[in-house]
Amino acid sequence: MQAIDGTSPHSQRSAWPRAATGRAFPAPLRGRHVAHVRIIHAGDAAEGERLVAPLRAVGPRLIDTVADMPYGACGSIHNEPSQPMSYHASSTLVRELDADAVNSLLALAGPGAPDRCIVEIRHLGGALARRPAVPNAVGNRDARYVVGFLSKLAPGTDLTGVLALHERLLKVTQPWSAGQSLNFLYGTNATADQVRGAYDPAAYRRLAELKAIYDPGNLFRLNHNIPPTAP
């Protein structure tokens, strides 16, 4: 079953009034394993309706919130919780996802999976894939998707099991890996290799050499850090 959430031209209403539910999930989603399709079309409303029609034809929808909205409200499309929560997340960029990879992901995190995990696939391309007018350090422009995994860390959660699950999920996508995206490296979990994997090798070397010139003591290190390296 699908929950289609998005916008045809410029907007989309909230999927449900949070204050009115009194519970974390709206009634149609409770106790179900669902797919949440998030879309936006910044253009003509009629064209947006035409583009979303094939999605609506896939199957029954538990919630359909596609509608017009001002651009300033597009952040509400994900309809994420407004309160803080503990979670563990990991991600990777991939060039392709074939049927075998998708089926393997479903086996680990789909209906009947032993552990609960949200799998998110975002389609890339567009401006990201185009060569910039002014050269910059954005890497992995040939990636077609970012695949993310999110596990809620409720009280009593076995973190060891969560970490093992994420390792298995990442292993499924490894044959199609296209590196990392800095936008999806979370907190202090990112390793030095993952940060390096977010850049093209030549760009990383250039940034490390610039760091050696302007910040040789690595004062600015509380980030996805690039240690200074002399040319």
| Model confidence pLDDT, tens digit, residues 144-167 | 999 999 998 988 888 999 999 999
What secondary structure does DSSP assign to 91-154, as a single string?
A: EEEES---HHHHHHHHHHHSTT-SS--EEEEEE--GGGGSPPSS------TT--EEEEEEEE--
The yes-or-no verdict on residue 17 having pLDDT over 70 is no
With cut-offs at 50, 70 and 90, classify the pLDDT of residue 210. very high
Q: Which CATH architecture has domain 85-199?
A: 3-Layer(aba) Sandwich (3.40)
102-147 pLDDT tens trace: 998 988 888 888 788 999 999 999 889 998 999 899 999 999 999 9
Q: Looking at residue 142, what is its pLDDT? A: 92
Query: Which tops the pLDDT comparison, 14 or 203?
Result: 203
pLDDT of res. 24: 65
Q: What is the pLDDT of residue 228?
A: 96
Distance CA 96, CA 80 (A): 27
Q: Which pLDDT does position 137 carry in this prediction?
A: 94
State the pTM of this model: 0.80
Q: Which residue has the higher pLDDT, 168 or 22?
A: 168
Position 11 pLDDT exceeds 50: no
Q: Band of the pLDDT at 20, cuts 50, 70, 90?
A: very low
- The mean pLDDT value of the chain amounts to 84
Residue boundaries of the structural domains of the chain = 1-84, 85-199, 200-231
